[in-house]
Chains A and B, each alone.
Chain A
Amino acid sequence: MKLEYVLFGFGILFCLAGVGYLAAEYVKNLSEIGKLVSLLMTVAMFAFLSKYFEDIGW
């Protein structure tokens, strides 16, 4: 069970690093609607992730 959490942690870190890299490199080229949708999806992603962790008992 603990190994699962460690793997989850790594997965989340890699996901954040990937999105962070893309954001730093290409956010300047996004259109206005692209920026808005990206923002909404980021918020939704963290909200769903929080709910998932809440459900598994974190």
Chain B
Amino acid sequence: MATKRRNLYLYLTLLCFFGLIAIFIVDGYMGVYDTVYVTAGEREQKIESDVWLREDKFWSSGVNRGEKAFFRYEVDNRRFSGYTADIEASLWRSQEKVRDLISQPLAIDAFGKGQLEWVIDTTELVPSDAPPEQSYEYTVIIKREQLERDVIIYINPAPYPLKVVPAPPRVD
């Protein structure tokens, strides 16, 4: 009787252990996950899908005025079936759409990855008569089915040019 009960505890322990493994595989690993990579300057930022579970928007690091921001949107299909979705990315400012960045379908095989790339050129966004000390913010909205990913792009103010102060005349 004692041996039977002892074995029961061991089996229940094993059941919980394999249950845990099953939950992590089915709920934690399986599914469709997306990752956004933003490269500005020499720095690449990786924004994983769990970031949007914690907050609505992601603040990317700044892009220098006159430079480009390179976006890579990667979708990881961890399912036994293929995955197809229309991906749309657009640029917004003050709740108004500035331009469409990309719009195309993405088909991924089972346990495969697919990616789309686009570039944001800050020279096309900042007005030519903008004062150098002014910074700008734009929101990149990426839509995949019902999901929406927002990334705020901050365009740094231009550095002030060095002013050469003439040396005062010598008075002997």
Chain A residues close to B by CB (< 8 Å): 15, 18-19, 22-23, 26-31, 34, 37-38, 41-42, 44-45, 48-49, 51-52, 55-56
Contacts and interface: CB of A to CB of B under 8 A. Distances in A.
A41 B24 contact: no
B10 interface: yes
Given A45-B13, A55-B2, A56-B6, A30 B21 contact: no
A30 B24 contact: yes
Contact of B27 (A23, A34, A42): A34
Given A30-B24, A38-B24, A55 B19 contact: no
B29 interface: yes
Nearest to A45: B16
B12 interface: yes
B23 A45 contact: no
23 contacts: A19-B21, A22-B28, A28-B48, A29-B31, A29-B50, A30-B24, A31-B27, A34-B28, A38-B24, A41-B16, A41-B19, A41-B20, A41-B23, A44-B16, A45-B13, A45-B17, A48-B10, A48-B12, A48-B16, A49-B9, A52-B9, A52-B10, A55-B9
B33 interface: yes
Dominant SS among interface residues on chain A: helix
Contacts of B48: 28
A15 B28 CA distance: 18
A44 B11 CA distance: 12
Contacts of A51: 9
A18 B21 CA distance: 9
A55 B31 CA distance: 41
Nearest to A22: B24
B24 A15 contact: no
B16 A30 contact: no
A49 B14 CA distance: 9
Contacts of B20: 19, 22, 38, 41-42, 45
Nearest to A49: B13
Contacts of B43: none
A34 B23 contact: yes
B170 interface: no
